[in-house]
Amino acid sequence: MYKKINLLQHIGIGVPDSESSWKWYRKFFGLDIPMFDSVADAPLMKRYTNNLVVNKRATMVINIQGGGAMEIVELKNFECKTSTTGEHSLGDLGIFIAKVRSKNIPASFDFFKKNNAEIISPINKTPDQKETFYVKDPNGLIFQIIQDENQFTTNSHPSGGIAGCTIGVSNIDQSKKLYSGLLGFNQVVYDQTQTFNDWGKDGSHSYVPGGNNKFRRILLTQEEGPTGVFSHFAGRTYIELVQVLDRIPEKILKDRIWGDLGFIHLGLDVKGMGQIEKDCVSMGFPFTCDSKNALKMGDNTEVHCTYLEDPDGTLIELIEVYKIPIFKKWGLFLNVEKWNPKKPLPSWILKGLKFGRVK
């Protein structure tokens, strides 16, 4: 049976109010096309919600320019909690930053500034000498805007879709066994140990909380690029692993449940879930949750979802997509399960998603 971990599909974000958060993400990131928007119980997540069934609104949104998606999660029967230990710092264990594409960093910076977003750094350079800057959303979550000219199609928005994330780990070499070995992010863009100017100016001032510490920082991508039916749309994505070297890190979500405020999981698109599970078990990363059968996400989306944990407990969601809406207004959907898994969907089909745009 064919099996493949295709690409980084989305970042999951817990927020107190999905309506206001999505409005902000539409404005600043152009994430204005919902793949699904539904309210339902999440019994699958009881392991991560104190053995209680949470009811949540989940909204999966994309930018027609391409890139990864964002899944916005709002708990409906629980209050969304923040950390009880105060602000977390770069290098703490878990997803700390989400990366967003921009084809023109100065134009994006000017757009954020003009519209009064909370910009927390000037334009600087990443270790691979690409322009970047950092912003906070209204909930205090940090996003890195990265230079990336890769686009599925163009529109007038200065930002593209999700390009990846930055994850705090306790031991990079141990974590690479999962992210590079099992998950296929096997190409190293850079691997450096020092203080970094885009996080803290010469180690003396911190743009990103904790950014003036000393880190080992490694950026990973897929050597062969993204694969699967959505590969043209998603484009190249990145996982950055960060290990702080001069303090003991804390777990970012240690005092919260899944769906509370923060980046709650990293989602990967896969094909051949049954065979992938065997690989995960053999490498010591068994599934901790498994929907077993197709889940309905809204009216026209069906997926098979599983979860596993990285060595520090960060949640990785694997998603095998069966059905997606294409022209939702007319009730037209695509049975992805029957599509050749090695062949990307035609561009004209995916461009039809723009008719579902929410202004």
Question: For residues 218, 244, 197 and 137, what is the CA-based torsion angle, rounded to 10 degrees?
Answer: 90
Q: Mean of the pLDDT values across residues 89-118?
A: 97
Say which range, 221-230, 250-259, 330-339, has the weakest mean pLDDT: 330-339
pLDDT higher than threshold 70 for residue 329: no
Mean pLDDT of the chain: 92
pLDDT higher than threshold 70 for residue 298: no
Give the pLDDT confidence score for residue 209 in this predicted structure.
95
Give the pLDDT confidence score for residue 169 in this predicted structure.
98
Q: Indicate whether this model's pTM tops 0.85.
A: yes
Q: What distance in Å separates the CA atoms of residue 29 and residue 155, rounded to the nearest whole number?
A: 12
121 to each of 8, 136, 184, 200, 223, how far by Cα in Å?
26, 10, 32, 9, 30
Over residues 9-39, the pLDDT tens digits come to 999 999 999 999 999 999 999 999 998 899 9
pLDDT higher than threshold 70 for residue 273: yes
3-class secondary-structure state, position 176: helix
Burial of 294 per CB tally in 10 Å (0-12, 13-18, 19+): middle
User: How would residue 172 be classed by pLDDT, with cut points 50, 70 and 90?
Assistant: very high
User: How would residue 124 be classed by pLDDT, with cut points 50, 70 and 90?
Assistant: very high
More confidently predicted of 97 and 86:
97
Cα angle vertex 221, ends 18, 201, to 5°?
A: 75
Give the pLDDT confidence score for residue 108 in this predicted structure.
97
Q: What distance in Å separates the CA atoms of residue 305 and residue 107, rounded to the nearest whole number?
A: 37
Give the pLDDT confidence score for residue 300 in this predicted structure.
66
- Architecture per CATH, domain 4-356, reads as Roll (3.10)
User: How would residue 299 be classed by pLDDT, with cut points 50, 70 and 90?
Assistant: low
Q: Can you give the residue ranges of every domain in the chain? A: 4-356
Q: Mean of the pLDDT values across residues 308-323?
A: 95
Q: Which amino acid type is present at position 65?
A: Q
Give the pLDDT confidence score for residue 328 in this predicted structure.
61
Give the pLDDT confidence score for residue 141 in this predicted structure.
97
pLDDT higher than threshold 90 for residue 136: yes
> Tokens 């930053």 identify what position?
97
